[in-house]
Structure formats: structure tokens, C-alpha cells
Homo-oligomer: A and B are copies of this chain.
Amino acid sequence: MNVTDPEHKRADPMGEAGGGRAAWAYEMLHDAIREGTIAPGQRLMEMEVSAWLKMSRTPVREAMRRLQAEGMLEHAAGGGMSVVLYDLRAIDEFYAMRESLEGTAAALAARNADETEIRILAATLDAMRALPRDARAHARENQVFHEQIYRAARNRFLLKSLQSLLNFVPLLGPTTYNAPGRIEDALAEHVEIVDAIRARDPARAEDAIRRHIRHSHESRILVVSDTVRNAVRDRAQGLRGAPPKRLGQP
């Protein structure tokens, strides 16, 4: 490994702000998947998407390949790509993984975070307290909170893994903040985590965040149970599920 390369400058992390049509297409598709406009299992064709976004296939292709590399799209059977559709078992796998990674992150953050980062973390807590009782808003703020911890851990590989892991959240179903009482519980747990980090206690931080993730897991199961039950009931009534959504009109 070359340590002393004077010419090496850190490349600016690919500007997301209008960095070109390909980046924009990536954003649009990513959002559409996150919002559920494009459902898991749905097939996407390059021409269809390029017509939707009014651009040529080239940047669309690039965006789709990137999404594929990140695991949100996969080669579909009859050609083309489809949004990955996970079985229920994936939920356990996801949370097991998340518990491990977040636990590591919290422990490292307790060691490596500087004072500023800790104060930002605390400020995020205040912001969440001030938030209205809206599931979606809390989900967003929650992600900010967790990403703060990832960064405070100061481990680039861990950061990457966690960020790519979180891409799968929207593919697992609706927000867990829809579970009753989840907002209040989560906030209390967040406080515990920040306390442990502020106290520079890695073991306690890891333990707190692991409990947090396990609770989140339980909430997820509740939410998914509802979804599944509803789906079964609807099918029993002859409703074959929502008709395939068209890309133009959300």
C-alpha cells in the first residue's frame, strides 16, 4: 500500500445534486422503489423506464445496473430486471445482520466519537421529541439518528455495509413506526444509546442498541403480520391484489 502519495487527493464523493441524467435516473428509481411506486417483484424494462423519464436508454441502463449491484434489482426470468422480492425468512436474516452491525457501530462510536458528534446526536434526539406523531417523519429522522452513529464509529467499511443494508428496509414492508406505541419506545431507547455513548461505555452502548434493534424486529413482525393477513383476506374476496402500477401516475 502506498502511504505517501502527494498527488492523491480525496475525490469528491460523486455529487448527487443533478450530477447528470444517470444519477437522476438512479434517484428516481430508488425513490420509486422506496415509496412503493414500484412494487417488489415488479418487472422493469429499460425502454419503459427511459420513456417514463424521457431520456435515452443509456443513463437508465446505468442507473439500473447500479441498483442491481446494490441488490435492489435482479435479473428477472424473462429478461429484464425486477425489484427483488424477499420471502418472510429474510426479515429474520435482516435483523440478525442489523443487530450485529449496529451493535458494532455503537460500541465503536462510544470509543471514537468526538464531542461534536455526541452533541449532534443529542440534538437529533431533541429534534425527534419535537416531531409530530407521524410515522413517516419519525422513520426519516430515525434514519438520520442511526447514520450519525455509523459515522461516529469511524469505520469506512462498516459505514458502507450499513448503508447498503438499509437499502433493503423499504423492501421489507411498511415502516415499523406504524406499530402502536413504537414511537415512544424508540425514543426512550435512543436516549439510552446516546447516554451510553456519552459515557464512553462501549459494552453498554452495544447492549442498548441491540435491544433497540430487537424491539424494532418485533414491531416489524407485527406490521408484516398485518400486511400478510390483509393480503390473504383480500385474495379470499377475489381481489387479486392491486393492479400493476403504471410508472407515469403514482
Contacts and interface: CB of A to CB of B under 8 A. Distances in A.
A56 interface: no
Interface string A1-12: 111010011011
Interface in A105-119: 108
Contact of A228 (B3, B101, B160, B161): B3
Contact of A66 (B69, B155, B156): B69
A171 interface: yes
B157 A1 contact: no
A161 B165 contact: yes
A11 B75 contact: yes
Contacts of A139: none
A168 B172 contact: no
B1 A172 contact: yes
A66 B64 CA distance: 11
16 contacts: A2-B40, A2-B85, A3-B228, A3-B231, A11-B77, A71-B160, A90-B157, A93-B157, A93-B158, A96-B108, A96-B155, A97-B161, A100-B101, A161-B161, A161-B164, A161-B165
Given A3-B87, A171-B1, A173-B1, A97 B158 contact: yes
A122 to B, nearest CB: 25
Contacts of A77: 9, 11
Interface in A60-111: 61-62, 65-66, 69-71, 74-77, 82, 85-88, 90, 93-94, 96-97, 100-101, 104, 108
A1 B86 contact: yes
Given A1-B224, A85-B1, A157 B97 contact: yes
Given A2-B39, A5-B85, A13-B75, 8 more contacts: A1-B224, A3-B228, A65-B65, A65-B66, A65-B69, A93-B154, A96-B155, A97-B104
B11 A76 contact: yes
A172 B56 CA distance: 39
A14 interface: yes
